[in-house]
């Protein structure tokens, strides 16, 4: 039983995933052309609707297998897969992200808690250096806000702190854990900065502008 477990999201919390997406959009247009890029994103959205989570590699496979003009031998698709898997994610960490994890370790147990698929998301965590920073304490679920019992079983604690850029996630977890959970909202990325980000959701316990501010913990 730990006193405090810090649960840290990845995309747009520790890592600038908006920047990764900008690079991906440019690369798709460069390699596949505007029409091919549009087809990729159309398949991406269809797959997200079917699965309930984003699957960038799965969308590439869907592009490869289906639709008019599909060419399974097209080497550009292999290059796109390599681009995703070998992307330099460490260069996209927000300033101070690794130092924040080291600092939080003085007060509790840092754990990565993320949503995503079973290939690209763990690859991202590994290549960014986050996996090593938390000594392999990485949990990746399809819908993490529905997995509170599993999180609690693996990392039992008297108190939890969830750090996430999505108000919806923070609200759902707060409803499940109540006062045992402190929610921290970094105002980073497209979801956090959306005009109606908190529509229908209660305000988080703590709001920060940048993840690096957690180097000042405790801030309760």
Rounded to two decimals, the pTM is 0.92
Q: How far apart, in whole angstroms, are the C-alpha atoms of residue 211 and residue 220?
A: 15
Written out in words, the top-level CATH class of the domain with range 2-16+93-216 is: alpha beta
Give the CA distances from residue 178 to residues 80, 108, 172, in Å, rounded to whole numbers and listed in that order: 43, 19, 10
Q: Return the CATH fold of 18-85.
A: GTP Cyclohydrolase I; Chain A, domain 1 (1.10.286)
Q: Is the pLDDT of residue 102 over 80?
A: yes
User: What is the rounded average pLDDT of the residues 196-205?
Assistant: 80
Predicted confidence (pLDDT) per residue in 147-168, tens digit: 999 999 999 999 999 999 999 9
Q: Is the pLDDT of residue 214 over 90?
A: yes
Whether the CB-CB separation of 174 and 203 falls below 8 Å is answered with no
Kind plus residue range of the DSSP H or E element containing 161? strand 157-163
Note the pLDDT of residue 70.
Answer: 55
By percentage, how much of the chain surpasses pLDDT 70?
A: 95
Strands (E), 22-156: 109-115, 138-141
* Whether residue 19 has a cis bond before it, omega within 30° of 0: no
Whether the CB-CB separation of 138 and 14 falls below 8 Å is answered with no
Domain spans, the chain? 2-16+93-216, 18-85
Q: Is the pLDDT of residue 69 over 60?
A: no
């Amino acid at each position: 039983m730990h006193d405090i477990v810090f649960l840290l999201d990845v995309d747009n919390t520790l890592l600038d995933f908006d920047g990764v997406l900008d690079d991906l959009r440019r690369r798709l247009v460069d390699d596949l052309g505007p029409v091919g890029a549009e087809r990729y994103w159309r398949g991406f959205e269809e797959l997200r609707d079917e699965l309930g989570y984003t699957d960038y590699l799965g969308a590439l496979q869907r592009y490869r297998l289906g639709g008019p003009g599909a060419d399974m031998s097209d080497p550009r698709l292999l290059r796109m897969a390599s681009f995703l898997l070998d992307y330099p994610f460490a260069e996209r960490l927000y300033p101070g992200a690794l130092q924040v994890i080291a600092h939080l370790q003085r007060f509790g147990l840092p754990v990565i808690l993320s949503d995503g698929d079973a290939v690209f998301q763990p690859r991202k965590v590994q290549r960014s250096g986050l996996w090593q920073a938390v000594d392999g304490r990485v949990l990746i679920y399809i819908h993490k806000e529905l997995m509170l019992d599993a999180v609690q079983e693996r990392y039992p604690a008297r108190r939890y702190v969830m750090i996430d850029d999505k108000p919806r996630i923070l609200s759902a977890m707060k409803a499940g854990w109540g006062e045992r959970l402190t929610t921290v909202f970094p105002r980073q990325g497209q979801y956090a900065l959306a005009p109606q980000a908190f529509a229908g959701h209660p305000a988080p316990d703590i709001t920060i502008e940048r993840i690096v501010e957690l180097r000042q913990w405790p801030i309760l």
